[in-house]
Structure 1
Amino acid sequence: MKFYINKQVTRLFSVALFASSLTACDDFLNIIPLNDVVLENYWTEEADVASVVNSCYAQLESGDCLKRMLVWGEMRSDNLTTGAGAPQDIIRIAEENLLETNGYAKWESFYQCINRCNTVIHYAPQVQAKDPNYTEAELKANIAEATAIRSLCYFYLIRTFRNVPYVTEPSIDDTQNYQVPASGFDEVLAHIIADLEAVKNDAIRTYGEYSDDNMNRITRYAIYAMLADMYLWQGDYQRCIDYCDLIIDYKKEQYDDMLQESSSFIENVELYGEFPLISEAPYGSSYAGTAFTEIFGEGNSFESIFELNFVDSETRENLLTKEFYGAYNSTNVGQLAACPYLNAQVADGSNPYFKRTDCRVYENMSGESTVSIRKYVTAGVEFRTNTTTGSAPTVTEYTRSNNVGNWIIYRLTDVMLMKAEAEVQLAGNVGDGSSLTSEQEARYRTAFSCVSAVWKRANNKRVATTDTLVFEDYGTSRLSMENLVLDERQRELMFEGKRWFDLVRLCRREGSNTRMLDKVMQKFSENTAALRIRLSTPDALYFPYHEDELKANSYLVQNPAYENENITTTE
């Protein structure tokens, strides 16, 4: 398999880190063989471990990893289409013309990250034995970080390719075997869940009350979010709920503590039902946009659980948002655009996705026939809340000085909606004329409360009105509740790399692609019958293995959905 993480890459990477700390580097390297520098002389103190842990985060923030998070998790959904200057690989994915030559079928950037994590897990215990200042607790925390990042990488890989090689040993010597069979989706999912369960209590709870590291590094709550998500995919809905509750309770506790210390620390956060969320228009303000500005503009907000940090950097750019959504200093559409039906006729009240009061549609998108994506691109927005029927508000955008929007992996409303989905599934099926049992009603009402809080924040609804969600409109059947949660996840997490994965999870749970097809097919105007047939099989939910990986690893067997494709390289 073409991991691109072979022993030479690992050695050279470690040497580069080690050499940067030496004053007489040339002489040293001339005396000691390369392999001895890496294995015997680099891994000697806590700082060496910290450097490689930091490199794991740096790899996640690389353009190759970031762009795949978005393309794999959203490009094939009903949210996205191509924009201006999209490369052929993106165009072909958008057209569902996926081939094994497509560059986005390559996975080496994620396996590079996995190998860095494996290297930390392998060598950190040896360092702890050598460095008396490197404590057992610090060792365990570093291993928890590396394990969580590795698990996150595998989670992206299995949701994209289904079956992938599962490797937990670093590539450090000539005996490494690069011919590794693919493990099945369920097997890898079980492994990474077990790995996270084993280290969750070793992770740092918080890095300090107001530290950005609480959002930009793996904490115990980031691991809880990963576990909640993974259990949702595994179908263990009660465990998903349990981990969601740990995060929600933590945010409630954090809100109460900050409010008690000083209301100025949390002046824009309000309770929507029982959930503390950043308001779109704080009390006394006639302008909306606060939640968008704090969450996607400034970054590292109260609602954040784990996000990749660019805001504080003057040299690193978020290449995902720069290329896909558009540069900070341009209002032009990027390589990707929103599907036009998402924001059509919102102001006159006839859009099926967004009510005219929903702030998210004005914040996240701009334009009509070609709709540019503004989420993450702008530093902030502002518009009057008294939107009237038939006319959209004038949105003022505040630009950044660079392409440095953070990329969010998990945030509070995502967790709330995961809990809602799990509650609906645990409640079971209703709608055959029978009435709800007390347990079913309780679970549906819990799910509804999560959705309602997210929806009310977005629509500036602090109290119930005739224009808000009503439980009785949805709480009579599993299908109605399921659609309510799925639709709210689409609105809330749009363009965040979640939608296609949500649809794949739906297909896996139902054993059918029908509901996914009904949503996705509306963005196609040509060859719809052929596309519907092509996307109707379970295999079609996943990417093909790239041809380079097939050549390098004889154990890999191509996804049957792509076995008989005509491979062409014509642009």
Structure 2
Amino acid sequence: MTFNKFFSGAAVATFLGLGTLGTTSCQKDFIELNDPTRIPTTESYKDSLSILNGVTAAYASLQDLYGRSGGPRGIFIFGEIPSDNSYTVTSGERLNEFNDFSLLSDNPNLQSYWLSSYRAIARCNIILSRGAGVKLTEATRNRYYAEVRFIRALTYFNAVRIWGRVPLVTQELMAIPDAYQYGRAPIADVYAQIEQDLDFAEKNLPVTYTGTTNLGRATKGAATALFGKVLLTQKKYQAAADKLAPLATGSTYALQATYANIFATNNEMNSEIIFAARYTKGTLGLGSAFTTWFMPAYGTTQSTALLGAAFTGQQFNTVDTDLIAAFTASGTTDVRAATSYVLPTGAATTLGYYTRKYIDTPTSATDAENDWIVLRHADLLLMYAEAVNEASGPSAAALTAVNQVIRRSRNLPVATANATVDLPSTTTAATLRTRLELERRLELSFEGHRWFDLVRTDRAIPVMNAFFARANSSVRIDPDDLLFPIPVQEIQTNPILTQNPGYN
């Protein structure tokens, strides 16, 4: 494939940011932007409305990064399918290559996620490049900048965890030859840019917004939580603990009393949600496809009983029995199990378990209401406990954080100590480390965290090889499998890009 062919049409928009950005008004939230009115970037950013629409377009990019019908399958193919939580029965889209670590660099899912990542980054860079020419108050301008820098940081954070060294583009590219200048930046440089973006976002984003039309925009708390996760991933444990402490011990966010309520489509952006990629069904193709993507290949009768209408499940993200065994070992009182997995009924039991976190009645096969939760309070509490434990051992604050999550998993009041389930003050660092690994697996299953958690804690190789051994599989992984291959199309079109070890 030639460079010019690669950068034709939509691909030019993706990497250089020379495409179009959408505009809209909205009712549910600010991301409803797939409007017939579309402003070319070469003509926009002349007033405050146009820059607001550009920021909205940057948010819309998240639907590609977390999964969209007709687009990339989303983060779950990297965060869940390679893990011991999940597998896919789908081979036609080559998702099975993520199951058994047989990935080839021409896998189309790699290419689509790469393009979507740099489309999001390009949209953010356009705002940062052109925003200075728009008449705005300094506070408003900085807030817009903070929103897109948060999105850019989140996009690069996913990319660096998937591929390691990636091109670090922080300015708008105006001409095709400019793209040739970007090879794979050192991982430390990518993380340094992520930290700079999140520092700016944290200082310039509001704690909350007024009005429901702004529900879901990045907040100061979202920037702080993501910043803490970035520091934790780099093993900057004390810095991560310090960053996460105000949210872990404060009242900005709170656990939902009932685990299932976190995921209810009539309870979106609840007290536990720190940040989510937002979707809305029935309007201009902005719904999510997770319901049918993760549902078994039910017949008409069974799918109608589950969803209220007949739809075909794809089984892209099927619950592995190894996860069910972990839930069973945790005890019948763990209420998370009922939401995390269920066995199909009747003859369909042979289809395997599926998660109930994304059940909704779609208006079409790929048009449901479910948001993709990126950060939530339980995740933050467990990250905080991990950071404290790795920095200085299991303090009272760390144990308090994880005990809240454990209590909620047993339907107990999270604010009240319970000697029956709480980890005692005598808990050792090693014991807490093991328990945190388990709690994160059970608490956050099918939310895109498991594989990245195992890599972050240096547990991917021993955990996954033990998993394959239990399954009597011949698959084994080694350090080369901890990163995914750079899409071969990118290497063919940009000769200064190199491949990750272990891939052609």
TM-score (norm 1): 0.73
C-alpha displacement of 1:336: 2.1
Residues 319, 145 of structure 1: alpha-carbon distance in 2 compared, 3 angstrom cutoff: same
Match of 1:536 among 468, 472, 478: 478
* 1:560 and 2:498 correspond: no
1:510-529 matches, cutoff 5 A: 514-518=461-465, 520-521=467-468, 524-527=471-474
SS of 2:95 mapped into structure 1: helix
1:373 maps to amino acid: Y
**Matched residue type, 1:77:** S
Q: Which residue number corresponds to residue 82 of structure 1?
A: 88
CA contact (8 A) 1:445 1:471 kept: no
SS of structure 2 residue aligned to 1:67: coil
* Contact 1:5–1:171 (CA under 8 A) maintained in structure 2: no
Q: CA deviation at 1:278?
A: 1.6
What does 1:225-304 correspond to in 2, within 5 Å?
225-250=225-250, 252=251, 276-280=254-258, 291-298=259-266, 299-304=268-273
1:375 aligns with 2:356: yes
Structure 1 residue 67 corresponds to structure 2 residue 43: no
Is the CA contact (8 Å cut-off) linking 1:14 and 1:38 kept in structure 2?
yes
Distance 1:357 1:14 in 2: 49
Secondary structure of the residue aligned to 2:198 is helix
- Which of 147, 155, 173 is 2:157 aligned to? 155
What are the within-5 Å matches in structure 2 for residues 102-113 of structure 1?
Answer: 102-106=107-111, 107-113=114-120
Q: How far, CA to CA, are the matches of 1:57 and 1:38 in structure 2? A: 16
Secondary structure, counterpart of 1:555 in structure 2: coil
Secondary structure of residue in 1 paired with 2:318: strand
Which one is further off, 498-507 or 336-345? Answer: 336-345
- Structure 2 gaps of 5+ residues are 25-34, 297-302, 344-348
Q: Which residue of 2 aligns with 1:178?
A: 180
Q: Secondary structure at the match of 1:42?
A: coil
Is 1:458 matched with 2:409? yes
Using the alignment, how far apart are the partners of 1:488 and 1:358 within structure 2?
A: 11
Q: 166-175 or 46-55: which moved more?
A: 166-175
Structure 2 counterpart of 1:536, one-letter code: D
Is residue 205–residue 221 contact of structure 1 (8 Å, CA) maintained in 2? yes
* Structure 1 residue 237, shift from structure 2 partner: 1.7
Tell me which amino acid in the other structure corresponds to 1:451.
V
**Which residues in structure 2 correspond to 1:214-229 (within 5 Å)?**
214=215, 216-229=216-229
Note the 1:189-228 alignment, pairs <5 A: 189-208=191-210, 211=212, 213-214=214-215, 216-228=216-228
What per-residue deviation string (whole Å, max 9, x for no partner) do you get for residues 228-248 of structure 1? 110101222222122222323
- TM-score (structure 2 length as normaliser): 0.82
Tell me how far 1:311 sits from its aligned partner: 4.0
What is the CA-CA distance between 1:333 and the residue it aligns to? Answer: 6.5
Over aligned residue pairs, what C-alpha RMSD do you find? 3.0
**Matched residue, 2:491:** 550
**Structure 1 CA distance, aligned partners of 2:423 and 2:58?**
45
How many residue pairs are counted as aligned between the two chains?
459
CA distance in 1, matches of 2:245, 2:438: 22
* 1:483-522 alignment runs, 5 A limit: 483-507=434-458, 514-518=461-465, 520-521=467-468
- From 406, 422, 427, the equivalent of 1:475 is 427
The structural deviation recorded for 1:113 is 0.7
The alpha-carbon distance between structure 1 residues 322 and 179, as it changes in their structure 2 partners (threshold 3 A), is farther
Deviation at 1:453? 0.8
Tell whether the 8 Å contact from 1:445 to 1:475 is kept in structure 2 after alignment. no
Change (3 A) 1:516 1:179: farther
**1:313-352 correspondence to structure 2 within 5 Å:** 314=283, 315-325=285-295, 328=307, 329=309, 334-344=315-325, 351-352=328-329
Instruction: Give the Cα–Cα distance (whole angstroms) in 1 for the partners of residues 204 and 55 of structure 2.
Output: 15
Match of 1:126 in 2: 133
Residue 88 of structure 2 aligns with an amino acid whose one-letter code is: T
Relative distance call for 1:137 and 1:518 in structure 2 (3 A) is same
- Percent identity over the alignment is 24
1:42 to 41, 44, 65: 44
The alpha-carbon distance between structure 1 residues 137 and 464, as it changes in their structure 2 partners (threshold 3 A), is: closer
Question: Relative to 1, partners in 2 of residues 1:76 and 1:164: Cα closer, same or farther, differing over 3 Å?
Answer: same
Return closer, same or farther for 1:88/1:232 CA change in 2, 3 Å cut-off.
same
Structure 2 Cα separation of the partners of residues 249 and 448 of structure 1: 12
* Cα distance change of structure 1 residues 115 and 325 upon mapping to structure 2, 3 Å threshold: farther
1-structure distance, mates of 2:232, 2:353: 32
- Tell me how far 1:469 sits from its aligned partner: 3.6
Contact 2:105/2:487 (<8 A) preserved: yes
Q: What is the rounded CA distance, in whole Å, between the counterparts of 2:333 and 2:319 in structure 1?
A: 19
Q: Quote the residue 2:96 is aligned against.
A: 91
- Residues 498-524 of structure 1: per-residue CA shift (max 9 Å, x gap): 0000011012xxxx7543335542574
Task: Give 1:396's aligned residue.
Answer: none
Q: Hey, what's the Cα distance between the residues in 1 that align with 2:427 and 2:280?
A: 42
Per the alignment, in what secondary structure is the counterpart of residue 176 of structure 1?
A: helix
Q: Which blocks of at least 5 consecutive residues in structure 1 are unaligned? A: 26-36, 129-133, 255-275, 281-290, 380-398, 428-439, 564-571
Please say if residues 61 and 120 of structure 2, whose CA atoms lie closer than 8 Å, have aligned partners that are also in contact. Answer: yes
Structure 1 or 2, whichever has the larger Rg, is 1
Amino acid aligned to 2:225:
A
Match of 2:57 in 1: 55
The answer as to whether partners of 1:45 and 1:127 remain within 8 angstroms in 2 is yes
Residue identity opposite 1:415 in structure 2: L
Contact 1:311 1:405 survives alignment (8 Å) = yes
The offset of 1:121, in angstroms, is 0.6
CA distance in 2, matches of 1:450, 1:495: 22
Contact 2:222 2:274 in 1 (8 A): yes
Give me the whole-angstrom Cα distance separating, in 2, the residues matched to 1:502 and 1:541.
Answer: 12
